[in-house]
Amino acid sequence: HSTGILYENAVSAQQQLGIASQAATNQGVIQIYSVDTMADAVATSKIAQSDVPDNMLSLLTTLQAVKS
């Protein structure tokens, strides 16, 4: 009887290890997919904090004035 319990415990431990392994893989994939998103967010934030938007607005205003 105790041998049966040992086998049951071994199977249960393997199942839990498989579940933990799958969860770790899922987390890794999520991180891989979120890297681009985070990089885009950082780049957008840096551009928004720089003087690029002001320069673009000035250039657009100048171009519209020249067209008129």
Q: Where are the domains of the chain?
A: 2-67
Residue type, 10: A
Please tell me the distance from the alpha carbon of residue 18 to that of residue 8, in angstroms, as a whole number.
15
In tens digits, the chain (68 residues) has pLDDT values of: 888 899 898 999 988 888 888 888 888 888 777 777 777 888 878 877 777 778 778 888 888 888 86
pTM reported for the whole predicted model: 0.47
Residue whose structure tokens are 């998103």:
37
| Contact call for residues 47 and 53 (beta carbons, < 8 A) | yes
pLDDT given at position 10: 92
